[in-house]
Amino acid sequence: MPAKIFYTTCVTLALAAAWPAHAANTGHGATWDEIKMLPDWTGVWTWIPDKRPAMPVNAGGQAELDKMAQERKVTGDVTARQKRCMVSGWPSGVGGPEEYSEEWIFTPGQVTMTGAIGFVRRIHTDGRKHHAGPGTIEADSIGHWEGDTLVVDTSSAQEGNELYYGFVGGKNMHGIERIHLSDQNTLTIDLDLDAPDIFSTAYKFPTRLKRHADWTTLEMNCAQNQRSVDEKGNQTMILDKQSYSAGKDEE
């Protein structure tokens, strides 16, 4: 074999060996042409406040609920991340009040959910495995398409991530979601959630989102480092349940 061809072949083989396996994935949604065949999730989506089934709380979960009830009785509210302009994390960040609008973005090998409050969730659909890193607010989500349904396996959530306002899920949360359009303007997320710190068995519940095709997402006050603007145009700083003028000493 001529030296030049031999050298080129060796370099090609070396690069192929070093390149991550998921880079060669050719599954559903792996290319821009394949993305054209995926369901249409464009527009701005907001949470539909359906009643959820009863939670299968264990002793740890009940203790946490009792603690929250006592705190609410004493202070009128509970300690929650969003009170301090922190995103609640997965799974709570996938649904919430109407002002917490979200959008879904399809790119080759990834589905990205962005929220007005600043929560960003990356669902990798390129065939990779879960990473072995620490738990994060976003958690680690890998997915694949089954027809028009995105099936998502999520783990490595941060210990302090909330299931809902102030209710912490604890260590080792793991969930399987099936995300699909129930109709043209309703996106349904069916979640099977294992959370051994607070649940005795898997908690299964749906989250529904409503599409607003003509809406535009605007940043929320937390995007400005806990600053908001009132109806008179005055800038204020939000801390817990109280509002302070920006730069004014706390009383």
Which pLDDT score is estimated for 26?
A: 44
132, 235: one domain: no
Host domain of residue 247: 219-251
Same domain membership, residue 230 and residue 157: no
Strands (E), the chain: 44-48, 102-107, 110-115, 120-124, 140-146, 149-155, 162-164, 167-168, 174-183, 186-194, 203-212, 227-229, 235-239, 242-245
CATH number of the domain where residue 95 is located = 2.40.128.20
> Are the beta carbons of 138 and 131 closer than 8 angstroms?
no
| Residue keyed to tokens 């009040």 | 97
Q: 145 and 58 in one domain?
A: yes
Find out whether 88 and 138 touch, Cβ atoms under 8 Å. Answer: no
Do 214 and 186 reside in the same domain of the chain? Answer: yes
- Is the pLDDT at 240 greater than 90? The verdict is no
**Quick one: CA torsion of 106, 107, 112, 113, rounded to 10 degrees?**
-30
Question: Are 213 and 229 members of one domain?
Answer: no
* 162 lies in the same domain as 235: no
Q: What percent of the chain has pLDDT over 90?
A: 60
* β-pairing verdict for 140-146 and 120-124: parallel
Q: Does 124 lie in the same domain as 194? A: yes
Residues 129 and 226 in one domain: no
The model's confidence at residue 28, banded by pLDDT at 50, 70 and 90, is: confident
Say if residue 89 is in the same domain as residue 136. Answer: yes
Q: Among 239, 158, 193, which residue's Cα sits nearest to residue 55?
A: 193
What's the N-to-C CA distance of the chain in angstroms?
Answer: 82
Q: What is the pLDDT of residue 231?
A: 54
70 pLDDT above the threshold of 80: yes
Average pLDDT over residues 62-91: 90
CA distances from 98 to 117, 217, 223 (A): 11, 11, 17
- Would you give the distance in Å from CA 55 to the centre of its chain? 20
Residues 174 and 122 in one domain: yes
**Entry pTM:** 0.78
Within a domain: residue 5? no
Q: What confidence score (pLDDT) does residue 227 get?
A: 52
- Amino acid in the structure at residue 170: G
In a domain, 6, yes or no: no
Query: 15: buried, middle or exposed (CB in 10 Å: 19+, 13-18, 0-12)?
Result: exposed
Please compute the mean of the pLDDT values over residues 27-34 and round it to a whole number.
87
Model confidence pLDDT, tens digit, residues 91-139: 998 887 655 789 999 999 999 999 888 889 999 999 999 998 899 999 9
Question: Is residue 182 assigned to a domain?
Answer: yes
| Count of domains for the chain | 2
Contact 243, 250 (CB under 8 A): no
Q: Is 27 part of a structural domain of the chain?
A: no
Per the CB < 8 A criterion, the answer to whether 98 and 47 are in contact is: yes
**Cis? peptide before 91, omega within 30° of 0:** yes
Mean pLDDT of the chain: 81
Q: What is the pLDDT of residues 179-228, one digit of tens each?
A: 999 999 999 999 999 999 999 999 999 999 999 998 888 777 666 555 54
Q: Which residue has the higher pLDDT, 12 or 196?
A: 196
Evaluate whether residue 4 is within a structural domain. Answer: no
pLDDT, one tens digit per residue, over 42-58 is: 999 999 989 999 999 99
What share of the chain has pLDDT > 70, as a percent? 76
pLDDT-based confidence at residue 22 (cuts at 50, 70, 90): very low
